Amino acid sequence: MQAPARRPTVSWLFFSPSGRAGRQVFILGWLFWMVLNCYTVASLALHQEDEDLFRLFSLLFFAGLTVSVASTMMMSIKRLHDMGLPGILVFVLFVPAVSFVMLFVLCLWPSAPGPNAYGPASDWPKG
């Protein structure tokens, strides 16, 4: 008897390199982190005069930035897996001149059809 497949969860999407993520899920995940980081930056700009709030939003910004970098790496690895490519290519996102091109490729390149070595289907953890 085969064990039931794991269901996708938010923690899998944001913090696991396993499985595959399609274009839509990848873009929505990136937008989530961008909105969260933009909110903390805007709050920093609005509360420059209030020292206590400025400290709080500074802490939130650096914590959110750290978590979002790790999370976007995991989502990018899953997106590369969905395209049938190895996850090690995620480090191209850290090359300044090439990172924007790589991000557009991740957003626009279609998923590999059918199952591949990284999972049975897009937006699904590897069994």
Q: What is the pLDDT of residue 2?
A: 53
CA distances from 33 to 14, 51, 53, 65 (A): 10, 25, 21, 8
pTM: 0.88
Give the structural domain span for 28. Answer: 10-108
- Looking at the domain assignment, is residue 5 inside a domain? no
Buried b (16+ CB within 10 A) or exposed e, 3-29: eeeeeeeeebbbebbbbbbbbebbbeb
- Looking at the domain assignment, is residue 19 inside a domain? yes
- Looking at the domain assignment, is residue 46 inside a domain? yes
> Model confidence at 127, in pLDDT bands (50, 70, 90)?
low
Mean pLDDT of the chain: 90
- Overall domain count for the chain: 1
Tokens matching residue 52: 């206590």
Q: How confident is the model over 92-104, as a mean pLDDT? A: 92
Least confident range of 27-31, 81-85, 116-120? 116-120
Tokens matching residue 29: 């995940």
